[in-house]
Structure 1
Amino acid sequence: MDNDMISKKDLLALTGISYGQLYRWKRVGLIPEDWFIRKATYTGQETFFPREKVLARLEKILQLKDGASLQALADVFSPSPDNTSLTIEQACAKCAVSPAVFEVFASYLDVPMERDTPLGFDTLLFVRLLEQLLKEVDVDEGRALYTLFRTQYKAFQNKPCELIVLRKLGVCIGLFVRTPFEAVFEEDARVVVRIDVTAECEALKLLLL
Structure 2
Amino acid sequence: MERELISKRDLLEQMGISYGQLYRWKRKQLIPEEWFIRKSTFTGQETFFPKDMILARIDRIMNMKEDLSLDELAGKLSPYQTDLSLSKRELMDRNIVSEISINRHSAPAQLNGQETYSFELLLYFFATDQLLSAGEISLIESDLLMETLRNHFPSYEGKPCELLFMRKMGVSMFALAAVPSALHFDAGVKIVARLQLAELAEQLRSKLN
With normalisation by structure 1, the TM-score equals 0.69
- In structure 2, the partner of 1:138 is 138
Query: How many Å apart are 1:166 and its aligned residue?
Result: 0.7
- In structure 1, the partner of 2:39 is none
**3-state SS of 1:52 partner:** strand
C-alpha RMSD over aligned residues: 4.0
Q: Using the alignment, how far apart are the partners of 2:140 and 2:32 within structure 1?
A: 38
Q: Using the alignment, how far apart are the partners of 2:10 and 2:89 within structure 1?
A: 42
Q: Using the alignment, how far apart are the partners of 1:96 and 1:18 within structure 2?
A: 34
Task: Provide structure 1 residue ranges, at least 5 long, that are not aligned to the other structure.
Answer: 37-48
Counting only pairs closer than 5 Å after superposition, residues 123-162 of structure 1 correspond to structure 2 as 123-134=121-132, 135-162=135-162
Identity %: 22
Q: Using the alignment, how far apart are the partners of 2:73 and 2:99 within structure 1?
A: 28
CA contact (8 A) 1:160 1:197 kept: yes
1:22 and 1:188, CA in 2 relative to 1: closer, same or farther beyond 3 A?
A: same
1:169 and 1:73, CA in 2 relative to 1: closer, same or farther beyond 3 A?
A: same
Counting only pairs closer than 5 Å after superposition, residues 10-159 of structure 1 correspond to structure 2 as 10=9, 14-19=13-18, 22=21, 26=25, 30-32=30-32, 50-53=47-50, 56-61=52-57, 69=64, 77-94=77-94, 96-106=96-106, 109=108, 111=110, 117-134=115-132, 135-159=135-159
Q: Using the alignment, how far apart are the partners of 2:31 and 2:138 within structure 1?
A: 38
Count of residues paired in the alignment: 189
Q: Using the alignment, how far apart are the partners of 1:87 and 1:139 within structure 2?
A: 22
1:76 and 1:200, CA in 2 relative to 1: closer, same or farther beyond 3 A?
A: farther
With normalisation by structure 2, the TM-score equals 0.69
Query: How many Å apart are 1:35 and its aligned residue?
Result: 8.1
Q: Which digits, 9 at most, give the CA deviation of each residue in 1:149-198, with x for residues without a partner?
A: 11110122522211001111111111001123443422322111211111
**3-state SS of 1:59 partner:** helix
Supply the AA of the counterpart residue of 2:49.
Answer: E
Larger Rg: 1
Q: Using the alignment, how far apart are the partners of 1:180 and 1:17 within structure 2?
A: 29
- In structure 2, the partner of 1:43 is none
1:206 and 1:73, CA in 2 relative to 1: closer, same or farther beyond 3 A?
A: farther
Q: Using the alignment, how far apart are the partners of 1:97 and 1:86 within structure 2?
A: 11
Task: Provide structure 2 residue ranges, at least 5 long, that are not aligned to the other structure.
Answer: 37-45
CA contact (8 A) 1:161 1:198 kept: yes
Which range is displaced more, 172-181 or 87-96?
87-96
Which range is displaced more, 174-183 or 86-95?
86-95
CA contact (8 A) 1:106 1:113 kept: no
CA contact (8 A) 2:167 2:189 kept: yes
Q: Using the alignment, how far apart are the partners of 2:34 and 2:195 within structure 1?
A: 22
Q: Using the alignment, how far apart are the partners of 1:131 and 1:208 within structure 2?
A: 16
